[in-house]
Amino acid sequence: GQNIDQPTEMTATEGAIVQINCTYQTSGFNGLFWYQQHAGEAPTFLSYNVLDGLEEKGRFSSFLSRSKGYSYLLLKELQMKDSASYLCACYFDRGSTLGRLYFGRGTQLTVWP
Amino acid sequence: EPEVTQTPSHQVTQMGQEVILRCVPISNHLYFYWYRQILGQKVEFLVSFYNNEISEKSEIFDDQFSVERPDGSNFTLKIRSTKLEDSAMYFCASSERLRGVYTQYFGPGTRLTVL
């Protein structure tokens, strides 16, 4: 539900920069999370955006444009261990009381040496 | 660093059997969730829980599912009569409410296989 879209797969080389995009329905939007998920493991929290702009956290940054229904996760100085699925997840305030998250299908990033 | 834990890591059961999946949320968190992820598909919300009550449940969370916080530390998901399509990874998550935001931290998951 909520039409959260992100590319299925991306590849990049070690040391490079990669940008993973996410689009969502703007109606009722109330915040966006990025999670990293290695195969067979739990999603781990990376970032949260609710206001327009860029949030930087070390090698990872996340950007949000509420009016465009668009976010991206920027990964710099890629390392082999960054190979994982990156999940975009949104809050919508339509009757949701405790921050139910709606997830996209995830973007599988492969980092090559 | 505090983390959410889940047991068992794998559970294999026969169709029609009951299963209980267990979770220990982060100790100062008050909000608890179950999600599931069928292989190759997206993570889907099942239920949220606060103050010993279900706060919200999805259309997946039908009468076969129930949740409980039997004591001060455990949070359980019971599936009364499992179906083949219940095979999935089940993730527990917990959060606190900080400046209006429920940042959810996920456990390692229980892989449920229904035969």
Q: Residue A97: pLDDT band by 50, 70, 90 thresholds?
A: low
State both tokens at A18: 């990669």
Amino acid at B52: N
| Structure confidence by residue, pLDDT tens digits, B77-100 | 999 999 999 999 999 999 988 887
pLDDT above 70 covers what percent of chain A?
A: 96
- B96–chain A nearest CA distance, Å: 10
Q: Residue B11: pLDDT band by 50, 70, 90 thresholds?
A: very high
Provide the pLDDT for residue B83.
96
Mutant choice from B55, B104, B105, B110 vs A, greatest count of A C-beta within 10 A? B104
Q: What is the mean pLDDT of residues B58-86?
A: 94
Provide the pLDDT for residue A96.
60
The DSSP bridge pattern shows strands A107-112 and A9-13 to be parallel
Q: What is the mean pLDDT of residues B18-24?
A: 97
Q: Across the interface, which of A48, A100, A106 has its CB nearest the CB of B103? A: A48
What's the rounded Cα separation, in Å, for the pair B17 and A43?
28
How distant, in Å, are the alpha carbons of A1, A54, A55, A77, B78 from that of A16?
A: 33, 19, 20, 5, 45
Inter-chain residue contact B56 with A96, CB threshold 8 Å: yes
- A17–chain B nearest CA distance, Å: 25
Cis status, amide bond into B8, omega within 30 of 0: yes
Q: Is the model more confident about A39 or about A9?
A: A9
Residues in A closer than 8 angstroms to B4, CB to CB, are 42
Helix, strand, coil percentages, rounded to 5, for chain B: 5, 55, 45
Provide the pLDDT for residue B71.
86
pLDDT above 70 covers what percent of chain B?
A: 100
Residues in A closer than 8 angstroms to B103, CB to CB, are 33, 45, 48
How distant, in Å, are the alpha carbons of A17, A42, A51, A68, B9 from that of B103?
A: 26, 15, 16, 23, 23
Provide CB contacts within 8 A for A47, sequence distance 6+.
A33, A34, A55, A57, A60, A61, A62, A73
Q: Across the interface, which of B35, B101, B106 has its CB nearest the CB of A48? A: B101
